[in-house]
Amino acid sequence: MNNYKIAVIGGDGIGPEVVAEGLKVLNAAASKYNFTLETTDFDFGGERYLKTGEVLSDEEVEQLRQFDAIYLGGIGHPDVKPGILEKGILLKLRFDLDQYINLRPVRLYENVTTPLKGKTPQDIDYVVIRENTGGLYTGIGEFQKKGTPDEVAIQSMVYSRKQVERCVRFAFDLIKKRHAASPWKGLSPEEKEKGFVGKLTLCGKTNVLTYAYDLWDRTFNEVAADYPEILTDYCHVDAICIYMIESPQRFDGIVTGNMFGDIITDLAAVTQGGMGVAPSGNINPSGVSMFEPVHGTAPSFTGKNVINPIAAILTAQMMLNHLGEKEATENIETATRKVIKKMKSMLVGEMGYTTTEIGDMITEQLKS
Ligand code: IPM
Ligand code: MN
């Protein structure tokens, strides 16, 4: 019987509440599908920082390396200056554990309201592969003449060829796996005829960022040669914002750098019904990966049992998938779909059920 060691970081605000629901579902899956979960809680976050001044030490990161995966609720506290916890905990973990992929599936489930008029679940079903350890997020930059009228601030978008290539390769491999059983529905008959099975779109800004995205563009096209069965496309980041709204059905996978990936996945989350349903995984394919919902800590809803746990539950499901529990993964997905159909809305306060009720319903569904 497989036993998985999971580090649990509930974090701040509603983080611990949604993580509790995810764990409820995971534990039900464990007893049904014959694996065990050994969870260890870590109190990293704003509360601890305010009490002790500790953010996250190198020793603590080392401790986390001993786990099979990390399950995180949310980090951020209204009483802590922006940047301290984000950089000190979340980004430090992504960087130190070399979680170089931020995987964000975008899927509109049945019965979920999208603000995109006329769009159905068939139209919104793609995955964003966001590079997660480079770009503007490296923190490289400086102030010059700080505090004077002549002040200059520089923040560099830094990418190495290796960084870009491993990300792009991951993306192509993922699209290939995604359609191992049957080709992507968005392909035209001619494209299927030619042997294409899926499509990957590079999102960049080659008309202005002529260093960083030139590197991305060249790497993307070179790597594409190893994947003749994947159709490729390119969109500037501004244009992609139009297409994600007007014609999301044109996307199967989007690969992009860290900053653009951050921005477009919030937009994508809205199209799939809001932050309450958007899961994500910070992946190191050969190390420890960390799974966290895209949403933040929603401090004003803390402790009210009103927040939507679906994103955290789908995040837990992604974690199980990553660990290799395919059957359990599929069944959590089915159970979640069924419960989503019963919910009145994905929005806080309009769900028709409390946070814990939704976790219970999915658990019951899973057991049946
Ligand atoms: C996200 C968040 C983080 C990011 C913040 C909290 C540092 O917005 O996971 O998308 O920018 O990556
Ligand atoms: Mn973000």
Model pLDDT, residue 1: 87
Q: If you take atom 9 of ligand 1, which residue's CA is the nearest one? A: 294
Ligand nearest to the CA of 258: 1
Complete DSSP assignment for 136-163: GGG--EEEESTTSTT-EEEE--B--HHH
CB of 131 closer than 6 angstroms to any ligand 1 atom: no
CB of 360 closer than 6 angstroms to any ligand 1 atom: no
* Closest atom of ligand 1 to CA, residue 292: 9
For ligand 1, mutation pick of 55, 81, 89, 91 (most atoms within 8 Å of CB): 91
Model pLDDT, residue 14: 97
pLDDT tens by residue, 20-42: 999 999 999 999 999 999 999 99
For residue 349, pLDDT beyond 90: no
Architecture of domain 1-100+290-368: 3-Layer(aba) Sandwich (3.40)
Under 8 Å between Cβ of 217 and 204: yes
Q: If you take atom 12 of ligand 1, which residue's CA is the nearest one? A: 262
* Closest atom of ligand 1 to CA, residue 87: 7
CB of 86 closer than 6 angstroms to any ligand 1 atom: yes
**The model's pTM:** 0.97
Q: Where are the domains of the chain?
A: 1-100+290-368, 114-272
* Closest atom of ligand 1 to CA, residue 266: 10
What whole-number distance in Å separates Cα of residue 255 and Cα of residue 258?
10
CB of 87 closer than 6 angstroms to any ligand 1 atom: no
pLDDT tens by residue, 189-233: 999 999 999 999 999 999 999 999 999 999 999 999 999 999 999
Q: Do domains 1-100+290-368 and 114-272 have the same CATH topology?
A: yes
Confidence of residue 94 (pLDDT cuts 50, 70, 90): very high
Average pLDDT over residues 71-83: 96
* Closest atom of ligand 1 to CA, residue 102: 9
The percentage of residues in the chain with a pLDDT greater than 90, rounded to a whole number, is 99
CB of 262 closer than 6 angstroms to any ligand 1 atom: yes
Q: If you take atom 8 of ligand 1, which residue's CA is the nearest one? A: 262
Cβ neighbour number for residue 207 with a 10 Å cutoff: 9
C-alpha atoms less than 13 angstroms from C-alpha of 90 in its C-beta half-sphere: 28
Model pLDDT, residue 171: 99
Q: In the CATH hierarchy, which top-level class contains the domain 114-272?
A: alpha beta
pLDDT tens by residue, 112-158: 999 999 999 999 999 999 999 999 999 999 999 999 999 999 999 99
Q: What is the mean pLDDT of the chain?
A: 97
CB of 69 closer than 6 angstroms to any ligand 1 atom: no
Three-state secondary-structure class, residue 171 = helix
